[in-house]
Structure 1
Amino acid sequence: METPGGGDASTEDERAAPIVWNVLDRRTYWRNIIGFWILGLCNNFSYVIMLSAAHDILSTQEGANTTRPTPPPNSTQMPSASVPGGGTNRGGRFDCNSISTAAILLADILPTLIIKLVSPFLIHLLPYGYRVLFCCFSALTSFIVVSFSVVTWISILGVVFASVSSGLGEYTFLSLTAHFQTEVVWGWASGTGAAGLFGALSYSGLTQGALTPRHTLQLMVLVPVIQWASYFCLLVLPPTFSNWGLENVDGSAARRDRDEGLEEQPLIPSGGSGSMESHLNFSNKMQIIQRFLKYTVPLSLIYFAEYFINQGLFELLYFPTCFLGHSAQYRWYQTIYQAGVFASRSSAKCFRIHRIWIPAVLQFVNLFFLLSVVWFSYLPTIWIVFAIILYEGLLGGAGYVNTFNNISEETSDREREFAMGAASIADTMGIAISGAVALPFHNWLCQLG
């Protein structure tokens, strides 16, 4: 029988040992992939929930400032009000909130953007264990604050907590993939896609059924608890990896050995919280960032286009004669979009895309088409919009998973941890710019007579 390192075993003991190692390695392999899948799911869950609840948050709390009657406790229909004074704009050409859902998007993404801009140069000073605990605490706080909020600004504050959790988590866990086998990147990407689908679907389903938006958000406090358990109980961290200390050893050699199915060898010390980034100076980091602009710039454009659609146009794609109400239409747009994202982010094993500019161009085609639909209102049925939104999600998810897979494969062991984390700013930058543009655009449309 051949041993993991090659060569023939000559004794019974030598034949038995590789079997044990193979079984243990297989279990570790799948525990880590599943662990990163759950981390991706939980990390993006609060972010997705806040975007799915954006229409309800604004409608409910703006309507609370009026004297109009409120709906029954279990109703998902939100009160209307005239503008100014809050509520929705029922007198203009479009049926929309006086504050765009892009306001929720900006609160959900700007803290993430700040974290990702700073993290490439400072985050290696903070051990991974503390980062994960802070992510879980911020997510828990976000659900509690928004669910008990009675005014919009407090809800926005809760959304900020969700953004901090998601942004720090994405940078942390993408960097952490450098210490594991390469397949965990696929597990992470698929999990983040699942967060979109399950987050939007659970919110839409629960609010369409028996629960109010407030009670639905309160139920979501279980998510950060699962995230904590996945990291601290499920992942099999390298034996040389420290969650809490600032002194650790470089995990690049361990990662290479795990990829090759070999027993781990002694590793070379590095300075700082298990991070390989400490080997890179400022010039090295800027060179890495520049080298992968061919992936990160198209990814930013993809996310600009799709989030302009999601937060600038979704609420305006309203079909008055549809069997779904306005709030329900918005929620199901989000759900269908996330279904497409989940499918494509889980597709890395099936097909690969190296030219990320292709889905970027196609996403802008979607943007201009749906913009024409909003302006001219020529589509006869909501089902066509559902199909386009599903396609939109497929493009966005494909751009994300292929960007990080390409970067992971094209970096050396010492570059990979920094490159994966730094590249995560691409989608955030596109989303932030999109929210900044979609907000005034939406408000301008809502003021049209």
Structure 2
Amino acid sequence: MVAITDKQNALEKATPEQKDKQLWRDLVAFWILGLCNNFGYVVMLSAAHDIIARFDETTEVSDPKAEVLERQCNIVSTGAILLADVIPGFVVKLVMPFLPFWINTRVASAVALSVAGFLCVGFAEVEMVALLGVVCTSAACGMGESSILPYTSNYNRNSLSTWSSGTGGAGVIGALAYAGLCAINVSSRNIMLIMLIFPVLECIAFWIILRKPSGLVDNSVPSVTSVVEDDKPLQGWKEQLMYITSLFKYMLPLLFVYFFEYFINQGLFELVNFENTFLDKESQYRWLCVDYQIGVFISRSSVNLIKFKHIWILSLLQFINVAYFLTEVIFFYTPSIWIAFAIVLWEGLLGGGAYVNTFYRMSSEVPRSRQEFAIAVTVQADSLGIMLSGFLAMPVHNAICRLPAHPKLFS
């Protein structure tokens, strides 16, 4: 009798996670969904240098009268791929919050666009087809993020952190897979065909592993804002648009972090060149992408251990990284590639930390009835920052390519 009473008391004191024996299904499903949703996006950015090189000539700038470092630049920077990989997704994110939330239709559309993207890039014979594939991948990622991330509000709060961890995992696995397959001389077509396993995995995660959301919301953590604010759902476009201004405190810091971050990745990474090292120029770009994604994965998976509220500080730190890389690609003063790898890892930690902490804050500060809309709007901020960085990256890239090449400050 005492044992039964103790068991009942233990059950009453148990957390929602302990009571829900099937919670693992949702957490695993959202991790896989985050992985699959961002995987194509990451692969396209990792392949950006190679996609451009397939259809473009390389220019060389040199000064025969001086001992200089020869600059080798693609005529079009990887910022062009960045724009093709961001603008369609950004447009999709702008529209999605105001459309009916038909989650099954949205996920099916995202999967179809992802498949089309891999096939177009893999079988492209001309640049426009390759760019069309990147556009399809971008739209798939934007549709998935603006649908599945808000959908986490119907589940246990930790679903948001596992989604974020999965998107970070996509960075590491995507960049590492592309760099590794290139290293063993797998053709670009075969690489893209191999990547088709991820849209299939996304279908399995969403329609088989993930449970239906009814009754699964974790209400053990009350919404802070709902205590002092009317928690009624937003009605109509006018009310939704008026509500967006209250989300600027989440959106603006995230925008600046990603603006600085992707200006580095797609405007300056391509120009980083360390001679007399174990990696050639193309491999340096690929492995810097891998290194960056490792940092993103670590920070996007850390929100249950480290929570950070003041995202604007992360944007200032990211600006310092811009200053370093901008001066490095002009003067080549860093003595070792390992220093660059360390700074790139730090850059990834800042970006991933800004992403996961922004949405984790929203899960407790935004009324639950408004979270789907609020999160769907806020995800536009990182895409807008990335898009603006792409527009800036191309002229800056071309301006640096036209500069007289300089000797390294360290020989």
Fold agreement, TM-score > 0.5: yes
Match of 1:96, SS state, is strand
Give the CA deviation at 1:9: 8.4
The residue aligned with 2:337 is 382
2: CA distance between counterparts of 1:352 and 1:287? 29
The residue aligned with 2:278 is 323
The reply to whether residue 182 of structure 1 matches residue 160 of structure 2 is no
Structure 1: runs of 5 or more not aligned: 3-7, 63-86, 240-253, 262-275
The residue aligned with 1:100 is 77
Greater than 6 Å deviation, 4+ residue runs: 14-19, 21-24
Match of 1:27, SS state, is coil
1: CA distance between counterparts of 2:87 and 2:141? 11
Give the CA deviation at 1:118: 1.4
1: CA distance between counterparts of 2:206 and 2:232? 21
Give the CA deviation at 1:158: 0.3
1: CA distance between counterparts of 2:101 and 2:389? 31
Amino acid at match of 2:77: S
The reply to whether residue 158 of structure 1 matches residue 138 of structure 2 is no
1: CA distance between counterparts of 2:243 and 2:58? 47
Give the CA deviation at 1:212: 2.1
The residue aligned with 2:94 is 117
User: C-alpha deviations, 1:218-271, integer Å up to 9, x for none?
Assistant: 1101110000110000101124xxxxxxxxxxxxxx355x4449xxxxxxxxxx
The residue aligned with 1:332 is 287
User: C-alpha deviations, 1:116-156, integer Å up to 9, x for none?
Assistant: 1112222xx25110100010111111111101112111100
Given that 1:292 and 1:407 are in contact with CA atoms closer than 8 Å, whether structure 2 keeps it comes out as no
User: C-alpha deviations, 1:91-132, integer Å up to 9, x for none?
Assistant: 35522211100100000000011111112222xx25110100
Amino acid at match of 1:128: I
Q: Pairwise mapping of residues 95-244 of structure 1 onto structure 2 (< 5 A)?
A: 95-122=72-99, 125-239=100-214
2: CA distance between counterparts of 1:398 and 1:232? 30
Tell me the C-alpha RMSD between the 2 structures: 2.7
2: CA distance between counterparts of 1:171 and 1:381? 40
- What TM-score does the superposition give when structure 2 sets the normalisation length? 0.88
Give the CA deviation at 1:285: 2.2
Given that 1:190 and 1:346 are in contact with CA atoms closer than 8 Å, whether structure 2 keeps it comes out as yes
Give the CA deviation at 1:208: 0.6
Greater alpha carbon shift after TM alignment, 409-418 vs 207-216: 207-216
**Which has a greater percent of helix?**
2
Going from structure 1 to structure 2, the CA distance change for 1:222 and 1:437 (only over 3 Å counts) comes to same
Give the CA deviation at 1:370: 1.0
Give the CA deviation at 1:294: 1.5
1: CA distance between counterparts of 2:311 and 2:171? 21
The reply to whether residue 308 of structure 1 matches residue 263 of structure 2 is yes
The reply to whether residue 30 of structure 1 matches residue 24 of structure 2 is yes
Amino acid at match of 2:104: G
Given that 1:94 and 1:446 are in contact with CA atoms closer than 8 Å, whether structure 2 keeps it comes out as yes
Given that 2:288 and 2:341 are in contact with CA atoms closer than 8 Å, whether structure 1 keeps it comes out as yes
Amino acid at match of 2:134: V
Give the CA deviation at 1:305: 0.3
Amino acid at match of 1:326: K
Greater alpha carbon shift after TM alignment, 410-419 vs 337-346: 410-419
Match of 2:327, SS state, is helix
The residue aligned with 1:43 is 37
User: C-alpha deviations, 1:370-418, integer Å up to 9, x for none?
Assistant: 1011111111121111110000000000000000001111011111111
Give the CA deviation at 1:287: 4.1
Match of 2:21, SS state, is helix
Once the two structures are aligned, what percentage of the paired residues are identical? 41
Match of 1:415, SS state, is helix
User: C-alpha deviations, 1:21-79, integer Å up to 9, x for none?
Assistant: 989953321111111110000000000000000111111222xxxxxxxxxxxxxxxxx
Given that 1:178 and 1:255 are in contact with CA atoms closer than 8 Å, whether structure 2 keeps it comes out as no
Going from structure 1 to structure 2, the CA distance change for 1:444 and 1:304 (only over 3 Å counts) comes to same
- What TM-score does the superposition give when structure 1 sets the normalisation length? 0.81
Given that 1:277 and 1:417 are in contact with CA atoms closer than 8 Å, whether structure 2 keeps it comes out as no
Amino acid at match of 1:325: D
Given that 2:11 and 2:19 are in contact with CA atoms closer than 8 Å, whether structure 1 keeps it comes out as no
Q: Pairwise mapping of residues 341-360 of structure 1 onto structure 2 (< 5 A)?
A: 341-360=296-315
Give the CA deviation at 1:18: 8.4
> How many residues end up aligned between the 2 structures?
388
Going from structure 1 to structure 2, the CA distance change for 1:416 and 1:443 (only over 3 Å counts) comes to same
1: CA distance between counterparts of 2:312 and 2:166? 24
The reply to whether residue 91 of structure 1 matches residue 78 of structure 2 is no
Given that 2:164 and 2:301 are in contact with CA atoms closer than 8 Å, whether structure 1 keeps it comes out as yes
1: CA distance between counterparts of 2:235 and 2:32? 30
Match of 1:90, SS state, is strand
Quick one: higher RCO (CA 8 Å, sep 6+), 1 or 2?
A: 2
Greater alpha carbon shift after TM alignment, 174-183 vs 330-339: 174-183
The residue aligned with 2:409 is none
The residue aligned with 1:75 is none
Amino acid at match of 2:331: F
Structure 2: runs of 5 or more not aligned: 63-69, 222-230, 405-411
2: CA distance between counterparts of 1:56 and 1:255? 45
